[in-house]
Chains A and B, each alone.
Chain A
Amino acid sequence: MNLYAIRAIYRFEMARAWRTLTQSIISPVISTSLYFVVFGAAIGSRIPEVEGVSYGSFIVPGLMMLSLLTQSLSNASFGIYFPRFTGTIYEVLSAPVSYLEIVVSYVGAAATKSLILGVIILATAALFVPIRIEHPLWMVMFLVLTAVTFSLLGFIIGIWADGFEKLQLVPLLVVTPLAFLGGTFYSIKMLPPLWQTVTLFNPVVYLVSGFRWSFYGISDVSPTISLGMTVLFLLTCIAIVAWIFRTGYRLKP
């Protein structure tokens, strides 16, 4: 195990986040605060409670997930795409590091960043609405699993993309719609029955539902199923990354 290499890449990536503090921390915090102001304070006060939870508090887990998903994706995809774009990836590929070590350090750094962000958003939310966390351990587990899974997905996108446009494509066209339609701002029980069924094909539903359950003990699907689906998604991403490195896809001609 080349621990020095893992540490070098990890620190390098974390230093990049520190340099781009505005982009990686401040802007998501501001946009989340705006959601709280609009949905929590302005509109939320006119929306009835959802299963005994005030609307402002209800959306907190969903909003954290939304930020976690999008930030994990953009952090991880940019982290690996940029060295490919500038060519500096040559150094990592020529170094005595295994693929596992490369993934662990890039994905680890991206996941760390989104975890820090998640915690900051939680703290920000606590300023606006009352929050309680019924199952803290589960909450942390969902947080970590989601951060890692979507950082892996971001890593895959960063390797697949051959232009900045594609880098934005998946987050914008797939993940953001899925996140918005995944029960971030509502319980899927509010939907007509047909759409409730359709929604079950959206993986984000399970993340948000499980995460919200860890907060308030209310969920659209059982937390065990949520956890199972999250792990399944994680394993799928791991399998794709393994395939990428075995074939050298987009990395080694």
Chain B
Amino acid sequence: MSTMIAISGLTKTYEGGFEALKPVHLDIREGEIFALLGPNGAGKTTLISIVCGLVNASGGRVTVGGHDIVRDYRQARALIGLVPQELTTEAFESVWNAVSFSRGLFGKPADPARIERILRDLSLWDKRDNRIMTLSGGMKRRLLIAKALSHEPRVLFLDEPTAGVDVELRRDMWQLVRGLQADGVTVILTTHYIEEAEEMADRIGVISRGEIILVEDKATLMHKLGRKQLSVHLQEPLAAVPATLGAWALERSDDGQTLTYTYDAERHERGIGDLLNALSAAGIAYKDVNTTQSSLEDIFVSLVREKA
């Protein structure tokens, strides 16, 4: 797969000295769905804003579809659709006019049939003549997406697309993103909802304090995510793990009160049942059992904390 967006050595220091981006290197492949995860204030929006031309970079270089975003800004920007985080919409315009405006702004001739299709896809068709101010929050979000898609972008940025959005819209949005991917559109979404990244992304990047600290295929991450742990809290401390339980590679806590079994979530059922039977057979009494799953969130939190 070819590279759609190449970011190299990108830095941003805001007036006042806040260093929003340390040198960032990141390649986004054509046609992928890339989730950029990070806590608030990590630099997600700054990164997107630079690529889209809303913020001037302090250093480094970005190309979109091979076009430098500063020197060939016309070619680069024509490829990009941006759905901003805030619900920034006109108030008095009609839905139809607002979306048509966006298409013209990006240098495309009017195409009512296409705009109709976009509005229908986003369940906005019935609202086409409504003033934007009369729309609900969810409808405004849909409108922003419609505006971003109006000029047939090859890259779509969704900045926190599902913040404050109801379940139905979230599902619609995911479906839409998959549809776009099927058409070969590259989608970059930022989120601090980990389920969203899990649900949608092909690759996940984690950004913290202006640095990309991890970029990995979701499958690889999910593998880490797939680890589960079973902790058995014993009634009596155990000096050593009996040899009959060797097959499970149990870890004994220092005080001998807890045995921990780490296993693969995919095939855990027999393992746990067998282990508990074996414990009983070995005459080891336990007072409590609990399982934990190292979620992407844990990985994420530990990564972010590590770097802090």
Q: Are B92 and A19 in contact (CB under 8 A)?
A: yes
Q: How many residues of B contact A (CB 8 A)?
A: 35
Q: Are A95 and B105 in contact (CB under 8 A)?
A: yes
Q: Which of A1-9, A46-54, A216-224 contacts B (4 or more CB under 8 A)?
A: A1-9
The yes or no answer to B88 lying at the interface (CB within 8 A) is: yes
Measured CA separation A96–B74 after assembly (Å): 4
1/0 per residue A62-91: CB within 8 Å of B? Answer: 000000000000000000000000111011
Q: Are B88 and A93 in contact (CB under 8 A)?
A: no
Instruction: List chain B positions with a Cβ less than 8 A from chain A.
Output: 14-15, 52-56, 73-78, 80, 82, 84, 86, 88-93, 97, 100-109, 147
Can you give 16 A-B contacts (C-beta < 8 A)?
Answer: A4-B105, A5-B104, A5-B107, A8-B101, A8-B103, A12-B93, A12-B97, A16-B92, A86-B88, A87-B84, A93-B54, A94-B52, A95-B105, A95-B107, A97-B107, A253-B14
Measured CA separation A19–B97 after assembly (Å): 13
A residues within 8 A CB of B76?
96
Our pick among B15, B80, B93, B104 for the contact of A94 (Cβ within 8 Å) is: B80
- With A4-B109, A253-B14: A90-B82 Cβ-Cβ less than 8 Å: yes
Measured CA separation A93–B101 after assembly (Å): 14
Our pick among A2, A15, A91 for the contact of B107 (Cβ within 8 Å) is: A2
Chain A, residue nearest B14 (CB): A253
Chain B, residue nearest A251 (CB): B54
Whole-angstrom distance between the Cβ of B90 and the nearest chain A Cβ:
6
B residues within 8 A CB of A11?
101, 104
Chain A, residue nearest B100 (CB): A8
Chain B, residue nearest A83 (CB): B90
Q: Are A92 and B105 in contact (CB under 8 A)?
A: yes
A residues within 8 A CB of B75?
96
Q: Are B15 and A253 in contact (CB under 8 A)?
A: yes
Measured CA separation A124–B105 after assembly (Å): 37
Measured CA separation A12–B104 after assembly (Å): 11
Q: Are A96 and B77 in contact (CB under 8 A)?
A: yes
- With A16-B92, A86-B90, A252-B56: A91-B74 Cβ-Cβ less than 8 Å: no
Whole-angstrom distance between the Cβ of B157 and the nearest chain A Cβ:
9
8 A-B pairs with least C-beta separation:
A8-B104, A87-B88, A96-B74, A96-B77, A94-B52, A95-B105, A2-B107, A4-B104
Chain A, residue nearest B92 (CB): A19
Chain A, residue nearest B88 (CB): A87
Q: Are A12 and B88 in contact (CB under 8 A)?
A: no
Measured CA separation A19–B80 after assembly (Å): 31
Q: Are A96 and B54 in contact (CB under 8 A)?
A: no
Whole-angstrom distance between the Cβ of B140 and the nearest chain A Cβ:
12
Q: Are A5 and B55 in contact (CB under 8 A)?
A: no
Whole-angstrom distance between the Cβ of A84 and the nearest chain B Cβ:
11
Interface size of A as a range: 20 to 34
Residue from A4, A7, A15 with most neighbouring chain B CB atoms (10 Å): A4
Measured CA separation A93–B105 after assembly (Å): 10
The yes or no answer to A248 lying at the interface (CB within 8 A) is: yes
Chain A, residue nearest B12 (CB): A253
A residues within 8 A CB of B100?
8
Q: Are B97 and A15 in contact (CB under 8 A)?
A: yes
Q: Are B54 and A252 in contact (CB under 8 A)?
A: yes
Our pick among A5, A95, A253 for the contact of B56 (Cβ within 8 Å) is: A253
A residues within 8 A CB of B89?
86, 88
- With A253-B14, A253-B15, A253-B55: A95-B90 Cβ-Cβ less than 8 Å: no
Residue from A15, A16, A91, A248 with most neighbouring chain B CB atoms (10 Å): A91
Chain A, residue nearest B110 (CB): A4
Residue from A2, A4, A8, A95 with most neighbouring chain B CB atoms (10 Å): A95
Given contacts A4-B104, A8-B100, A8-B104, 20 further A-B contacts (CB under 8 A): A2-B107, A4-B105, A4-B108, A4-B109, A5-B105, A5-B107, A12-B93, A15-B93, A15-B97, A19-B92, A87-B88, A88-B88, A93-B53, A93-B54, A94-B52, A95-B106, A95-B107, A96-B74, A96-B75, A252-B54
Q: Are B101 and A94 in contact (CB under 8 A)?
A: no
B residues within 8 A CB of A87?
84, 86, 88
B residues within 8 A CB of A12?
93, 97, 101
A residues within 8 A CB of B93?
12, 15
Measured CA separation A253–B78 after assembly (Å): 22
A residues within 8 A CB of B92?
16, 19
Q: Are A8 and B53 in contact (CB under 8 A)?
A: no
Measured CA separation A252–B147 after assembly (Å): 21
Chain B, residue nearest A5 (CB): B105
Chain B, residue nearest A15 (CB): B97
A residues within 8 A CB of B53?
93-94
Whole-angstrom distance between the Cβ of B253 and the nearest chain A Cβ:
52
CB-CB contacts below 8 Å: A4-26 with B: 4-5, 7-9, 11-12, 15-16, 19
Measured CA separation A253–B105 after assembly (Å): 22
Whole-angstrom distance between the Cβ of B174 and the nearest chain A Cβ:
24
Chain B, residue nearest A97 (CB): B105
Measured CA separation A95–B109 after assembly (Å): 15
Measured CA separation A2–B106 after assembly (Å): 8
